[in-house]
Chain A
Amino acid sequence: DSGVTQTPKHLITATGQRVTLRCSPRSGDLSVYWYQQSLDQGLQFLIQYYNGEERAKGNILERFSAQQFPDLHSELNLSSLELGDSALYFCASSSPGRQLYGYTFGSGTRLTVV
């Protein structure tokens, strides 16, 4: 157990639907990062939150949004889902003092859009 918890582990939904992925960071970590891994592509950075505020944005579609709550857990909302959104979504966490130790990843949520 890495300390980063992601739920659900698997999700199957239909095109056009909306889903919410949840991430609880490692205890003490203030930053949460969301990544998408699809087919043979590497990890694509989506968005970062630090202590409740958006810190950096990557290749996140307008149909996707995220937020980080006061208890530091984060949710990634994916709407108007398309077949191409099927992917493995990872959450990672870090804190300023631990940045040099790298990120701690959750086990991912596998989203299948049918």
Chain B
Amino acid sequence: ILNVEQSPQSLHVQEGDSTNFTCSFPSSNFYALHWYRWETAKSPEALFVMTLNGDEKKKGRISATLNTKEGYSYLYIKGSQPEDSATYLCASNNNDMRFGAGTRLTVKP
């Protein structure tokens, strides 16, 4: 994988549903994997930075895992709320920082 790829492109869930999405990144020259939360009309906000294979990070209802050997990371949101609606970006820091296209999450009340 030469680029950072995220799936799905968009996701619509009901309030209370748990959800997850995927980030695939190049595993060579890997330094760190970043997750950002990006709300419309605001700048991306850092959620997690992970560096080690097997890393797991958690912030409230949001958690992330990292597999550097196979080059993927999962972001999980437990019990989604309308305020979780945003675009979730991942970025892989190899020789430079490359962003995926994001997963646009919409949580319906």
- Residues of A at the B interface (CB closer than 8 Å) are 2, 4, 33, 35, 40-45, 48, 56, 58, 90, 99-108
Contacts and interface: CB of A to CB of B under 8 A. Distances in A.
Given A41-B101, A42-B89, A102 B96 contact: no
Contacts, number: 51
B42 interface: yes
B1 to A, nearest CB: 15
Sorting the interface of chain B by its residue count into under 10, 10 to 19, 20 to 34 or 35 or more gives 20 to 34
A42 B67 CA distance: 22
Contacts of B51: 100
Contacts of B102: 42
B100 interface: yes
Given A100-B49, A102-B46, A45 B96 contact: yes
B71 interface: no
Interface of B: 6, 32, 34, 36, 42-46, 49, 51, 89, 91, 93, 95-102
A44 to B, nearest CB: 8
A77 to B, nearest CB: 21
Given A42-B101, A103-B44, A103-B97, 18 more contacts: A2-B43, A35-B99, A40-B101, A42-B89, A42-B99, A42-B102, A43-B91, A43-B99, A45-B96, A45-B98, A56-B96, A90-B44, A99-B32, A99-B93, A101-B46, A102-B34, A102-B49, A105-B44
Contacts of A45: 96-99
Contacts of B43: 2, 4, 90, 105-108
